[in-house]
Chains A and B, each alone.
Chain A
Amino acid sequence: MYDMLCAGCGHRTAMMMLDEIIKEKKLKEKTILALDVACCSLLIDYVDYDAIMCAHGRVLDVTKGYKIMRQENIVISYMGDGAGYSIGMEEMVHSARRNDDVLAIIINNGLYSMTGGQVAPTNVGTKLCDSPSNGNIGLKIENIISSFPISYLARAALTDKENIDIAKKYIEVAFDKYMKHGGFNLVELLSPCPTNYKLKPIEMVDVINNEWTKVYKIGEFVNNV
């Protein structure tokens, strides 16, 4: 098998962190990875736990159906911002409303990457925008679902060591909450996509740290017991 992810891709970092946590907690035998399509779906060949490749934007529905039947298992709902906030926004809102038992990881890069870098509703830059460019203010999930009685909502960036450590900490908190009392736990990860932004990986990190984080604040937004 060959590596299918681009140089500097955030998926690699995110998946390695998840894998570390799963192996540390010895949860491999209980874990089901529910993946969205496109770049997310490439991860199916990287992991050694049971995995589902869902239809675009339907990860949370599949998660709900699975989890309701097998409470003892851990389902990681892994998707991009297109799936989470665009085509799958309805599922996102209703899953949060129901406070379903969800452990969602959203890889947010503001683009539809697999199809060649078209602008997603989450995009905040204007450099590449050929559709809604000016005044594109992004889509802040904390403004949308934090009114529901969810368990945990946080955002981190997959850029430098400092930020990646924060990201891992948030994912661990989400994991613990999910294991302890269930509920809706979501960690959004601002993720580099150097290929489609046509930047070097190191330049991409600067763009996220300096520009994106002004709109998408890093931190924990909901942390209910």
Chain B
Amino acid sequence: MKKILNGNEAFAYGALAAGIDFYAGYPITPSTDVYEFFEKYANDYGVKFVHASSEVSAINMIMGASIAGARALTVTSGCGFSLMQEAISYMAGDFVPSVILNVMREGAGLGDIPRSQGDYNQMTKGGGNGDYHSIVLACTTILDCITYPKIAFELSEKYRNPVIITYDSDIAHTKEIVEVHSQNKNNIDKLSYTLTGNKNNNPKRIQNIYYHDKDFNETLKNKYELIEKNEQRYESYFAEDAEIVLVAFSICARICVDVVKRARANGVKVGLIIPITLYPFPKKAFETLTNCKKIVVVELNILKQMRADVEYFTKFKYEYYSINSMSTCPTVLDILSFIEEIK
């Protein structure tokens, strides 16, 4: 069925198609649409819904439900996401799957609600305490918001690690016509590591401190090596032969698609790489570049957070430029004139 949906609504339908069983959350703009959707319709769809008393509560309920084999989801933004970091770190160490949507807010602290990509470092580098990463998927279109929840649940169950889906408030509130898939039901008994009670004298444990096991950290390390090897995802748009390659995700990527089209029409060889997984960073995407001399990272934060990753993973071998701003997006013409200057 086709519907006109904004990113948040589309995400809610995507979560239903992915077979979620349980939702716990606390409202925070700009992610509240998802919370409202489940508050209204959870009963109709047979999803268990809890008004958590805080984000801390919500994420720990997600953890409990995941341990019971459920596909559990929570949705948040900005400061709410910060409150969840302890439990996300726990789940990474406990090998518990979970999916969290973070619709980014602008600035530090409370910040504000316009478009932003300032949580890049927090999401990709860990965010909580200790040695871990969350897998991070960035949505660029409303269709992504529908399809990524399923991918996210599959990845999190495969690697037993939290997966964060993210986009900015422009994607959250942009409406597009999208195909909505019907709801799927999850089988809570399908995973071997689900706690069901000790039925065959083999007690299972969910813990991240092993008083008698020294190999645990090695297991943790192997998990991330495997993720980095297997799960780099990206979209390459006329990048292979481009002399100037733009790197952007979410709303910036959508603007850059237009930039590439117009620049190519004027005979300037511009390409675009859209990272789908922010962690693991898709460094494979840059290995296919044959003609690239300059890289322009377009992002919505003042500290050029993604640029640091781009420089590091491309081994500092190109010339690097940034177009970055807070709360207002660069326009297509802004980026075109920037390219005109540096080409």
Contacts and interface: CB of A to CB of B under 8 A. Distances in A.
Contact of A49 (B24, B48, B67, B197): B197
A41 B65 contact: no
Q: What interface size band does chain B fall in?
A: 35 or more
Contact of A50 (B56, B188, B205): B205
Contacts of B63: 54, 58, 61-62, 65
A31 to B, nearest CB: 6
Given A49-B198, A49-B203, A65 B54 contact: no
A63 B64 contact: yes
A69 B21 contact: yes
Nearest to A49: B198
A62 B60 contact: yes
A41 B209 contact: yes
B140 to A, nearest CB: 31
Interface string A47-60: 11111111100100
A54 B64 CA distance: 9
A176 interface: no
Contacts of A34: 64
Name the residue in B56, B86, B199, B212 with the highest tally of chain A Cβ atoms < 10 Å from its Cβ. Answer: B56
A70 B21 CA distance: 11
A185 to B, nearest CB: 18
A65 B68 contact: yes
A166 to B, nearest CB: 29
Interface string A23-56: 0000011111010000001101101111111110
B69 A69 contact: yes
Interface of B: 21-22, 24, 48, 50, 52-54, 56-57, 60-70, 72, 86-87, 90, 94, 188, 195-199, 201, 203-209, 211-212
Given A52-B67, A55-B60, 11 more contacts: A58-B87, A61-B63, A62-B61, A63-B64, A65-B60, A65-B68, A68-B61, A69-B21, A90-B53, A91-B60, A94-B53
